[in-house]
Amino acid sequence: MDSDRASSQFLRSIVIAGGAAIVACGSFSVWNAGWIDWTPQSVQLRVKPSTAAEIAAERADIARIKQLKVANANHKALQMVAEFSGVQNPQLIDANKADLDDATAVIGISSGELDCAFVLKDMTSPKTHILNLVMGGQPVSVTYCNLVDCVRVVTEDSDDAIPLNVGGLDVDDQLVFELRGTHYGQSSETLPLDDLPFTRTRWGAWKREHPSTKVWMQPTKT
């Protein structure tokens, strides 16, 4: 078996709980220990031989991924191509229902008549790097890359949440977006979305200034 096919078969055989999928060329690393849940229930290895159609699809995947990794006007070269859907319409809760220490770091955003805080530590997993929602009638995507500690908040002229997704990691360890089939660096000036102002602050200070604020935090597992 040639090395490309072997690599493709290995990568395509990984099934991750929750629907997230990794695609990469050659070796890959665990980004923030959040990419793979190595449990017997979440990882299955394919053992049956590939069909001709599967081999062709695997080779096409390899070619596509290699092309995506090449630097262009939208992003720097990628060290990893990965595909995670942004969190669509995350649940917001009232401030008085949030069990948070006042020193908790948050991203504060005001849109229309709605104020909301987003807990930074709960956005460190690749599965929660991007939150897509509608605030006060305005679509808002809140993004955070913990590896370079970068926040970017964006919007567009639409009535619906933006379909912004995680697309990978560039050579400088920064998040790469996927938007409608195209990849963009988190800091890319070519991203066809408008930037929104935000505040990096602490929960106590934000709550005092915005007493009617909503808050997003990772739901507690039961």
Domain membership of residue 130 (yes or no) is yes
Cα separations in angstroms, 40 against 8, 9, 36, 126, 215: 21, 19, 12, 21, 35
Domain membership of residue 21 (yes or no) is yes
pLDDT at 28 over 80: no
Domain membership of residue 176 (yes or no) is no
92/16 same-domain check: no
96/61 same-domain check: no
pLDDT in the model for residue 130: 98
Contact 96, 210 (CB under 8 A): no
95/204 same-domain check: yes
Query: Worst-scoring range by mean pLDDT, 19-33, 168-182, 183-197?
Result: 19-33
Average pLDDT of 55-74? 92
For the entire predicted model, the pTM comes to: 0.78
33/143 same-domain check: no
199/114 same-domain check: yes
Domain membership of residue 47 (yes or no) is yes
Question: Whats the size of the chain, residue-wise?
Answer: 222
Could you say which DSSP state residue 25 is in? Answer: S
56/157 same-domain check: no
For the chain, give the percent of residues with pLDDT over 90.
69
pLDDT at 176 over 50: yes
Number of domains in the chain: 2
How does pLDDT run across 180-213, given as a tens digit for each residue? 999 999 999 999 999 999 999 999 999 999 999 9
Domain membership of residue 171 (yes or no) is no
Domain membership of residue 175 (yes or no) is no
> Two tokens at 98?
């949030």
203/106 same-domain check: yes
Range of the domain at 60: 3-69
Average pLDDT of 129-151? 97
